[in-house]
Amino acid sequence: MNLQSYNDQDLVKVYIAGNENGLQELLRRHKSKIYTSIYLLVKDQYLAEDIFQDAFIKVINTLRSGRYNEEGKFLPWVMRIAHNLVIDYFRREKRTPIITSADGMDVFNTLHFYDESAEDKMLRDQTHKDLKAMIHLLPDEQKEVLLMRHYADLSFKEIADLTDVSINTALGRMRYALSNLRKMLKTKEMTYKG
């Protein structure tokens, strides 16, 4: 049977019915897009391969247990699983994104002073820690867009596709994230002055 002419939904049914070739064809069809989306986020080949494998283990377990019900939306469903695994990885690693200013400079690096005194260095280190802590306080959707935009350097279209929302929603989440960071910074400055 030539499975290449089947749509994703039919291939899922073929696999659930016990024919491994259904999953093989789905993998052949979508592997590159799924792997690339993971790699763009983690920027590490081996880590991307590990997360890709974890995603397909979840896919297989869900299909075998009969819990799959994403009618006709196989690829977005797998992308969501992979994307969630990447976010879990960043949370576990507590890695913080690089935040760039409008001219493309890393905000943390612009805080570097050439003839920096011990006091300046302490202040810079504290600012790094404060900003990282503030990013971790953001709501998940906002933190996610911030990580994907500044750490993984994804476009808002790519972010929208990966998170299964409109571009406007992704842009809005970014606006809220930056607004919330500004508010937190203001509160922090008031605390220092007070």
The matching CATH number, chosen from 2.30.30.50, 1.10.760.10, 3.30.70.2740, 1.10.1740.10, for 8-94 is: 1.10.1740.10
Measured CA to CA, the distance from residue 27 to residue 55 in angstroms comes to: 12
Dump the DSSP string for 9-42: HHHHHHHHTT-HHHHHHHHHHHHHHHHHHHHHHH
Residue 17: per-residue pLDDT: 92
pLDDT beyond 80 at 70: no
* CB 173 within 8 Å of CB 142: yes
Task: State the average pLDDT for the chain.
Answer: 80
Matching CATH topology for 8-94 and 121-192? no
Residue 2 backbone zone (phi > 0: left; psi -120 to 50: alpha; other: beta): beta
**Structural domain boundaries of the chain?**
8-94, 121-192
Q: Which of 116-125, 141-150, 179-188 has the lowest mean pLDDT?
A: 116-125
pLDDT beyond 90 at 50: yes
Q: Which of 52-66, 113-127, 131-145 has the lowest mean pLDDT?
A: 113-127
> What are 167-178's pLDDT values in tens digits?
899 899 989 988
* Residues making up the chain, counted from first to last: 194
121-192 adopts what CATH topology?
A: Arc Repressor Mutant, subunit A (1.10.10)
143-148: which pairs have CB atoms within 8 A and are 24 or more residues apart?
A: 143/177, 144/87, 144/173, 145/170, 145/173, 145/174, 145/177, 146/97, 146/99, 146/174, 146/177, 146/178, 147/87, 147/90, 147/97, 148/41
Measured CA to CA, the distance from residue 125 to residue 141 in angstroms comes to: 27
Residue 135: per-residue pLDDT: 81
